[in-house]
Structure 1
Amino acid sequence: MTSIALITGASRGLGAALAQALAPAHHIVAVGRTTGALEELDDRIRARGGEATLAPMDITTDAAMQQLCRSIHDRWGKVDLWVHTAVHAAPLSPAAAMVAKDFDSSMTVNVSATQRLIGYVAPLLGTGGRAVFFDDPQAGQPYYGAYGASKAAQIALARSWQAESAKTGPDVRVLTPRPMPTATRGRFHPGEDRSALTPPEDEAGRLLTQISR
């Protein structure tokens, strides 16, 4: 039976790298907002003999996420692995001068959409599936108010689900990637020496051992 891996945030960065790393053993359902980037990912996956279904969608569009999960159920009846890498990186800003739109977008993508997706994907995972989230502990750091608060809230949701399902499944894991030269990090550290960071493809290989074991 085909093993299904749902990757939310698969367009670029760690999500795309993990999609490629998982493709040899899974049919990849790749969710992202950028159609061109998903098509390039599909080319790379197929060049390695894998298969992917592309879902160019915004995870904040509730109706689209419902339809996607319904379509997965109708086609395969399950998801074996859900890897959630989608994130909104608001500009760094003092807490007292934060733009309301930036804060609201952070909470919408990083918290509200994640909460809804947990509800939609959990039945597809059943008791034997696995969900993986990625921590980035910036809460409380100067100028990281919107990103730090929303990311911390996302991980709090994941850890609650992890505790609730510890005995019954699904298996919920929270991993912490090494710093990578992604677009998200580039927004926060524009002058950083990116050559010293771990390429997403290398980090995906390391994380894969933690995801699969």
Structure 2
Amino acid sequence: KNIEKLEGELSQWKIKYEELNKNKQEVMKQLNILKEIHQDELGRISEDLEDELGARSSMDKKLAELRMEMERLQAENAAEWGRRERLETEKLNLERENKKLRAQIEDLEEVLARKRRQTASALDTDLKTIQAELFEKNKELADLKHIHTKLKKQYQEKMAELAHANRRVEQHEGEVKKLRLRVEELKKELAQAEDELDEAHNQARKLQ
């Protein structure tokens, strides 16, 4: 906002500076016009004086008229010179104001440039901070991906071991089941042998 305000003030000062330059040019134009008018009138008076001096019969009358004309022109000339002095004064005032405006414009441009540099520096600092944070986050993400890959591999290895262990357990359970059946068969055979042995003992006793 400060930068926009300064830019607005700078634009207003530049417009005023251009208007003052335009006024200065107009004053100079008027001064040149007045100078040309005075030179033309003085030339005309000189020509009239030369013509009238040739006519001796009306010389006094013409001289009186010319004196009056000269006095009138001198009065007008004095008035014009007063006007010219006023215009010169206005010109000097305009130049001083222009100089002041140029100094103010330079000050505003310097302040604006400083504000822009400060803003750019702050943005650069923020950008570096964000880049550093992004680098750290990317590093953390890479570490997490590495850990995830490692844990996934360990999980797959454990699952393979578990599957192998389950197969071995199933295999052992089958063997245990077979052994139990064999034990049951042996028990039956043993019981049958004991029965046969008891029967043989009984018959042997009978024979005695």
Question: By percentage of residues, which structure has more strand?
Answer: 1
Bin of the TM-score, shorter chain as denominator length:
under 0.3
Q: Which has the higher contact order (CA 8 A, sep 6+)?
A: 2
In the superposition, the TM-score normalised over structure 1's length comes to 0.20
Question: By percentage of residues, which structure has more helix?
Answer: 2
